[in-house]
Amino acid sequence: METRSNTVVGTEHFGTLGDGTAVHRWTLERDGTRVRVLTYGGIVQSAEVPDRDGARDDIALGLPDLASYQEYTGPYFGALVGRYANRIGGAAFELDGRTHHLTRNEGRNHVHGGACGFDKRVWDAREVEGGVELSLVSADGEEGFPGRVELTAAYTLDQGGALRIAYRAVTDAPTVLNLTNHTYWNLAGAGSGSALGQRLRIAAGAVTPVDAESLPTGEFLPVEGTRFDFREPRPVTGEYDHNFVLDAPGPLPAAELHDEVSGRVLTVTTTEPGLQLYTADHFDGRPFGPCAGIALETQHFPDSPNRPEFPSTVLRPGEEYVSTTVYGFSVR
């Protein structure tokens, strides 16, 4: 059906899990953009946008069916990641004098919500103006996290076809929360090979360096004179899996990716303080090759529950977690 926002919204059956749970796919279309979102994992399965000649192609790495998403879980293709995006060192943190032990799913550490994070859950869905709102209840103790958390994530298309993801959450006990979307972007097209060479700008004057376990050291490293300096657009090379400390909100987006051949431009605007740049160097061809897409994960910083010098990710009863990221599409 067509909503008052001029976004055309539709839904269809996508598959059924082994326990009989149905998974649906929602399609949003407006101003040349067509986005498909799954109730399984809140996954952005595809994002089709035109190039400078008007030819539309999918620029988000996605998989064709539910079985493929269940098989290839490690890359988190397009998924809504939580309760905690990125890493928590030692799979534990202390809050209000109590230590909480989490699922270890990356060596001794916790990453992206654990063994059965939000990326593997089936979300409830309802149509809202301009798109679809997904909702989920995360039980107290799930993957070791305290508190019963009620969440929503609204996927809508703004005027011009920009994809807006707006997250909200409340809790009944003190907890930590850090959500992100894990889409891999390739502006030349999802099946075009490596995304390296596309030009990237990130509005960040510092990064949080990491140790051998990809955990932050607690430092803030100025990007000037380093390979992390994307303050002016330059081609993306490989071997990035780092959190950038975004500048204060300003007139420019937090990040911009540009493919000079197709002319497509992706802009990322967010309320979050950080952005994880991941170039997927370790993809092995199943189903995508190395660097087939570039992830730009808006987030709070990794291991913040163990780093008091980082912006807090604590959510308490009576507070509301609110976070919004907008992915704009244009041509140049």
Nearest one of 261, 84, 101 to 182, comparing CA atoms: 84
- For residue 297, indicate whether it is catalytic: yes
% of the chain with per-residue pLDDT over 70: 98
**What mean pLDDT do residues 71-94 have?**
98
Query: In what side-by-side order are the strands of the sheet with 8-16?
Result: 8-16, 22-30, 33-38, 44-50, 56-58
Q: So what's the pLDDT on residue 248?
A: 82
Residue type, 252: L
Name residue 276's beta-bridge partners. 243, 297
Mean pLDDT, the chain, whole residue set: 96
Two structure tokens written together for 153: 């994530």
**What mean pLDDT do residues 118-140 have?**
98
Two structure tokens written together for 170: 């409340």
pLDDT tens-digit profile of 20-52?
Answer: 999 999 999 999 999 999 999 999 999 999 999
pLDDT tens-digit profile of 252-263?
Answer: 799 999 999 999
- Residues 300, 83: Cα–Cα separation, whole Å: 12
Rg (CA), the chain: 19
- pTM of the shown model: 0.97
| Selected catalytic residue, list 100, 142, 297, 300 | 297
Which domains are seen in the chain, by residue range? Answer: 8-331 (2.70.98.10)
Q: So what's the pLDDT on residue 19?
A: 97
Residue 153 has pLDDT above 60, yes or no: yes
pLDDT tens-digit profile of 196-236?
Answer: 999 999 999 999 999 999 999 999 999 999 999 999 999 99
Nearest one of 251, 263, 267 to 326, comparing CA atoms: 267
- For residue 101, indicate whether it is catalytic: no
Residue 3 has pLDDT above 50, yes or no: no
Can you spell out the DSSP letters for 190-242?
TTSS--TT-EEEE-EEEEE-B-TTS-B-S--EE-TTSTT--SS-EE--S--EE
| Selected catalytic residue, list 100, 110, 182, 242 | 182
Show Cβ contacts of residue 221 under 8 Å, excluding neighbours closer than 6 positions: 206, 207, 208, 209, 228
